[in-house]
């Protein structure tokens, strides 16, 4: 397995510009294929034959890659080589794990987008956990520590932070569409780097009092989520009524050590 570290700041910049993103993905592809981060085919034709891209696409990637500083052409005694420049930086970096197989450029683009998403999930988990420590501390010392940490993170402890993540929000974070957002989070969960938890909450609304209580609940909570009725049963298993439940955005938990800080 090949492992490459990518600066999260670089990944964030890349997802805002499709040409930068494409060039960065090619940089990573070179690093994955060649331990030296370079190859002896600095021409468009040479790279095209090696990676199987079309002429226009390959020309664009090489041109933009050099313009953005992600690719460099060096001259050595035996000729010219194409070098993929450094993408690991100071601060937080995410580890990209590659299996021993060929990767498409689109797969690496998804990995870059997921690097940004994974970082967001880690930060969201940190904020949520710190808020819980401030609200329900095990000791006064824990509460003081949590409040100081929230202050450093510029988080208002009185403001309720969402601990779920909708597909629309994922699309916004990764600068992609809703269809791509669903694919990205599915890949991240399948990799084991995050754990998905479905969030189902009781609304407290009984079937017989639906029209009376629904408006109160909607005003109090905003009325978000997929609503469905669930049977209520007594100790003998007999149905005695129905209660309305709301399925809200899934909760995702950071479950790896892929993000590291380098000084």
Task: Give the pLDDT score at 246.
Answer: 78
Cβ atoms of 255 and 208 within 8 Å: the answer is no
Domains assigned to the chain: 2-103 (1.10.10), 109-195+254-262 (no CATH), 197-250 (no CATH)
Task: Give the pLDDT score at 109.
Answer: 97
Residue 158 vs residue 66, higher pLDDT: 66
Residue 21 vs residue 78, higher pLDDT: 21
Is pTM beyond 0.85? Reply is no
Residue 157 vs residue 217, higher pLDDT: 217
pLDDT exceeds 60 at position 191: yes
Task: Give the pLDDT score at 141.
Answer: 67
Task: Give the pLDDT score at 237.
Answer: 79
16-30, 35-49, 165-179: range with lowest mean pLDDT:
35-49
**Mean pLDDT of all residues in 40-52:** 86
Task: Give the pLDDT score at 216.
Answer: 72
**Mean pLDDT of all residues in 219-242:** 74
| Tens-digit pLDDT profile for residues 114-170 | 999 999 999 888 887 676 666 666 676 666 666 666 666 555 555 656 678 889 999
Question: What distance in Å separates the CA atoms of residue 41 and residue 98, rounded to the nearest whole number?
Answer: 23
pLDDT exceeds 60 at position 227: yes
Structure tokens at 38: 């370079």
Length of the chain: 263
Task: Give the pLDDT score at 185.
Answer: 96
Average model confidence (pLDDT) for the chain? 86
Place of tokens 């070098």: 83
Task: Give the pLDDT score at 240.
Answer: 73
Task: Give the pLDDT score at 134.
Answer: 61
| Tens-digit pLDDT profile for residues 76-126 | 888 889 999 999 999 999 999 999 999 999 999 999 999 999 999 998 888
Task: Give the pLDDT score at 243.
Answer: 81
């Amino acid at each position: 397995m090949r492992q490459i570290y990518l600066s999260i700041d670089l990944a964030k910049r890349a997802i805002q510009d499709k040409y930068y993103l494409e060039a960065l993905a090619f940089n990573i592809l070179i690093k994955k294929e060649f331990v030296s981060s370079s190859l002896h085919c600095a021409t468009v034709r040479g790279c095209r034959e090696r990676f199987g891209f079309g002429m226009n696409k390959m020309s664009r990637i090489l041109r933009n890659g050099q313009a953005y500083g992600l690719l460099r052409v060096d001259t050595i005694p035996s000729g010219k080589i194409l070098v993929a420049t450094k993408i690991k930086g100071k601060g937080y970096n995410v580890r990209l794990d590659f299996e021993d197989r060929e990767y498409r450029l689109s797969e690496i683009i998804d990995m870059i987008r997921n690097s940004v998403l994974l970082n967001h999930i880690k930060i969201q988990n940190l904020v949520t956990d710190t808020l819980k420590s401030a609200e329900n501390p095990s000791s006064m010392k824990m509460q003081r520590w949590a409040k100081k940490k929230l202050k450093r993170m510029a988080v208002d402890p009185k403001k309720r932070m969402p601990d779920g993540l909708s597909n629309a929000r994922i699309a916004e974070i990764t600068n992609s569409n809703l269809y791509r957002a669903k694919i990205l989070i599915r890949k991240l969960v399948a990799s084991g780097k995050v754990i998905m938890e479905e969030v189902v909450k009781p609304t407290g609304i009984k079937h017989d009092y639906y029209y009376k209580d629904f408006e109160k609940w909607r005003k109090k909570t905003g009325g978000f989520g997929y609503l469905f009725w669930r049977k209520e049963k007594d100790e003998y298993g007999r149905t005695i009524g129905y209660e309305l439940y709301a399925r809200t955005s899934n909760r995702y938990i950071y479950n790896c050590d892929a993000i590291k800080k380098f000084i």
